[in-house]
Chains A and B, each alone.
Chain A
Amino acid sequence: MENNTPKKPAIPRTAMPCQPPEERRHNFKEVALGYTKEMAAAEASRCMQCKKPLCVGGCPVEVPIRDFIREVQQGNLEEAYRIIKGTNSLPAVCGRVCPQERQCESKCVLGKKGEPVAIGRLERFVADSYIASSACEQVTGDNACAVPVKGKKVACIGSGPSSLTCAGVCAAAGIKVDVFEALHEPGGVLIYGIPAFRLPKNVVAIEINGLRQTGVDFHLNHVGGKTVDVAELAQEYDAVFIGVGAGLPMFLGVPGENLVGVFSANEYLTRVNLGRAYDFPNYDTPAYPGKNVTVFGAGNVAMDAARTALRMGAENVHVVYRRTRAEMPARLEEVEHAEEEGVQFAMLSAPLRFNGDENMLLKSVTLQKMELGEPDASGRRRPLPIAGSEYEMDTDLAIVALGTRSNPVLLDATPALKLNKRGYIEVNEETGETSMPGVFAGGDIVTGSATVILAMGAGRRAGQAIVKRILG
């Protein structure tokens, strides 16, 4: 530990330039504009190049953080890019959406006395600045493309970060990959869930184009368990990877939840992101308009829904959460950005029922005040209702962001897949292989709703196991 104590006087963390809140709450352009070269150099110079870099242990895919920052310090962006790409296939995505404050940055020694190095911002800077010279480099970070292996092929079901990563690993080894995606656009949550103001669509498109050019074919409108059968794919392909995400949105289970005006965050975000409802009626998919919007939940999904509602023209947006700000699972940056944009927070409040008019249109929600009791199994203090504390809040659009359960479409059609108690697919931790030989799985359909980087990590592990199985 002794070599990890800061010696230099603390230089403040370099702020991320952002669109001003007043402007950005009316548009879908990216909020965080990205470091300039100078900013990146200044931020990189804060890194002490520790002998034992603790940050790396905080990264689920162990990006050699110290090493890539060293290259940024020396101005070698190409080398920095290669280093990151060695373990993280989607750095431009991760730099934007990873909860760094709970991962790498939480372990950084500078964080003990001051603020940690802005690792995520540097990662994004490197990924955005370096333009890969070939598709193969885009996918693997390496220009030595593999020679196509004749007669071997892999099927990936779903096209979220887990499948994209698995596909990339296999393609890099020269194996032909067919991706089957249910929706009409590839990318999973990166496309239909996370809004463009946080993750511009072209960032994802660049990655998908890279994969296409290295021989990955995307078959859209193909539903695993419906259009294509897992067992049949397992016959036809040398291996199958299932990365269909978690899916099925949960509701609150309170009266009035089916009133017109109550939506799942998944539906609201899908309409706006996948359906481009922000450009209605130029695009055909509408989103439900709301003046007084309430959002239930406090994760990234809730923040995205709240900030999207603002941009869709809401006058007031309240995030209703039964705990307090400290317990909110969303990325810190998203909470801060939401606050700056004018999202209001009704903390320590839980919904009891939705109230509608005679036409079943949502008019208000009855809330109950909560207080925090003893910590529960999750380690967070349990919210307890305060008797007689009911109050009513006007709302004409309520968005429920409580998380998801496992989607039954593929699972019901594939009884041979062994599931765990929570209804997710059971896999061998090291390889990602399921109870069906040659069929692998990873991402949210294995872990339940988690993170992009964990889904990628799972896709990578499975991809490596598949390559090893096929090529020996």
Chain B
Amino acid sequence: MPTPILSKESLIPGKTSKLVLEAPQIAKKAQPGHFVILRMSEKGERIPLTIADADPEKGTITIVYLVMGKSTALLESLNTGDTILDLCGPLGRATHIEKRGTVICVGGGTGIAAMHHIAKGHSRIGNKVVGVIGARSKDLLLFEKELKSFVDELLISTDDGSYGHKGLVTELLKDRLEKDKDVFEVVAVGPVPMMAAVAETTKPFGVRTTVSLNSIMVDGIGMCGACRVSVGGETKFACVDGPEFDGHQVDFAELRRRLGAFREQETLSLEQWRCSCHGK
């Protein structure tokens, strides 16, 4: 049964949108940290997206995506009332959440939306949540309003200084960790270089650091090994062992290389699609 899109909100025109999907079964079971696999059309590819929010009462889940290539471009071409052909989930291990004190949740780019669900989980259980979010400029910053509604503090940085601190999220993070010794965990979701930088920043402080890895996936249920990542020298399957891992143990360089494995084909796929669309 195709999944209806109940609402679409454009966050960055043409680049990033937030979709609310009618998926009661998934909404009932979705925990922070979980993701779904979607397929937009009969000939489409399976792609993973994080569940950015879930409402079990309304039977809805929220996804937020950045247009990268053909599949996300196809998703962006859909509107309220359209349907998504295949939706599977909730997948992956839920975030480990326990009441311990102060947690810092760092989000970069589209990762802010994914981080949102995790931060919410920590807030619900009674942890003090400090949000740290960053983007290149003010107009690219997501989910500020959503996060503000429950976090205890929200720190913001932009690369160009158009809003909040001018610079990187890691600078805000370092500053905070120096002042606040009660932080029991740092969670980071965002582009690979950002997560690697966060892990680098927290290491001297010895604070537990959890990152959510976005390796390439096919089935999402442990049957293919496309998603394998090296964590502490061991091979793990991000879809069943993760996607969250100890940031101090992850081989980010390997992850970055593996994410580029299909770049040529991805470019071709997107170009062909753009041509065929403009031809019509």
- Residues on A facing B (Cβ under 8 Å): 182-184, 220-223, 226-228, 245, 247-249, 251, 257-258, 260-261, 263-264, 266-267, 270-271, 275-276, 280-286, 288, 359-360, 407-409
Whether the Cβ atoms of B88 and A284 lie closer than 8 Å is: no
User: Smallest CB–CB gap between A233 and chain B, Å?
Assistant: 12
> Which of B45, B219, B272 touches A183 (beta carbons < 8 Å)?
B219
User: Smallest CB–CB gap between A12 and chain B, Å?
Assistant: 43
> Which of A227, A245, A270 touches B88 (beta carbons < 8 Å)?
A227
User: Smallest CB–CB gap between B93 and chain A, Å?
Assistant: 9
User: Smallest CB–CB gap between B260 and chain A, Å?
Assistant: 7
Whether the Cβ atoms of A270 and B240 lie closer than 8 Å is: no
For this complex, 7 residue pairs linking A to B, each with C-beta atoms less than 8 Å apart, are A182-B221, A223-B88, A251-B225, A251-B228, A270-B219, A280-B265, A284-B43
> Which of B45, B46, B225, B262 touches A288 (beta carbons < 8 Å)?
B262
6 tightest Cβ-Cβ pairs between the two chains A and B: A286-B265, A267-B224, A221-B88, A284-B45, A360-B257, A264-B225
Whether the Cβ atoms of A258 and B269 lie closer than 8 Å is: no
Interface range on chain B (Cβ under 8 Å from partner): 35 or more
> Is B122 positioned at the interface, with any CB of A under 8 Å from its CB?
no
A227 to B272 Cα, complex, angstroms: 35
Q: A184-B88, A258-B230 are in contact. List 15 more A-B contacts (CB 8 A).
A: A182-B88, A221-B88, A222-B25, A222-B88, A223-B88, A245-B223, A247-B221, A247-B222, A248-B240, A258-B258, A260-B260, A267-B224, A270-B218, A270-B223, A407-B223
Query: What residues of chain B lie closer than 8 Å to A270, measured between beta carbons?
Result: 218-219, 223-224
Q: Please encode chain B, from 202 to 239, with 1 for each CB lying within 8 Å of some chain A CB and 0 for all others.
A: 00000000000000001101111110111000010100
> Is B187 positioned at the interface, with any CB of A under 8 Å from its CB?
no
User: Smallest CB–CB gap between A165 and chain B, Å?
Assistant: 21
Whether the Cβ atoms of A260 and B240 lie closer than 8 Å is: no
User: Smallest CB–CB gap between B37 and chain A, Å?
Assistant: 8
Whether the Cβ atoms of A360 and B254 lie closer than 8 Å is: yes
Q: How many A-B residue pairs have CB under 8 A?
A: 117
Whether the Cβ atoms of A281 and B269 lie closer than 8 Å is: yes
- Residues on B facing A (Cβ under 8 Å): 25-26, 29, 37, 39, 43-46, 70-71, 85-91, 218-219, 221-226, 228-230, 235, 237, 240, 253-254, 257-258, 260-262, 265-266, 268-269, 272
Query: What residues of chain A lie closer than 8 Å to B240, measured between beta carbons?
Result: 248, 407-409
Whether the Cβ atoms of A260 and B39 lie closer than 8 Å is: no
Question: Taking each of B29, B45, B87, which has the highest tally of chain A beta carbons within 10 Å of its own beta carbon?
Answer: B45
Whether the Cβ atoms of A227 and B262 lie closer than 8 Å is: no
With known contacts A257-B235, A258-B254, A282-B43, A223–B218 Cβ distance under 8 A: no
A173 to B17 Cα, complex, angstroms: 49
Whether the Cβ atoms of A275 and B88 lie closer than 8 Å is: no
Whether the Cβ atoms of B272 and A221 lie closer than 8 Å is: no
Whether the Cβ atoms of B269 and A284 lie closer than 8 Å is: yes
A216 to B71 Cα, complex, angstroms: 32
A11 to B37 Cα, complex, angstroms: 56
Q: Which residue of the partner chain A has the closest CB to B224?
A: A267
Whether the Cβ atoms of A284 and B70 lie closer than 8 Å is: yes
Whether the Cβ atoms of B261 and A288 lie closer than 8 Å is: yes
A247 to B254 Cα, complex, angstroms: 25
A439 to B90 Cα, complex, angstroms: 23
Whether the Cβ atoms of A184 and B43 lie closer than 8 Å is: no
Query: What residues of chain B lie closer than 8 Å to A257, measured between beta carbons?
Result: 235
A140 to B235 Cα, complex, angstroms: 45
Whether the Cβ atoms of B235 and A266 lie closer than 8 Å is: no
With known contacts A227-B26, A271-B218, A281–B89 Cβ distance under 8 A: no
Q: Which residue of the partner chain B has the closest CB to A280?
A: B265
Q: Which residue of the partner chain B has the closest CB to A247?
A: B223
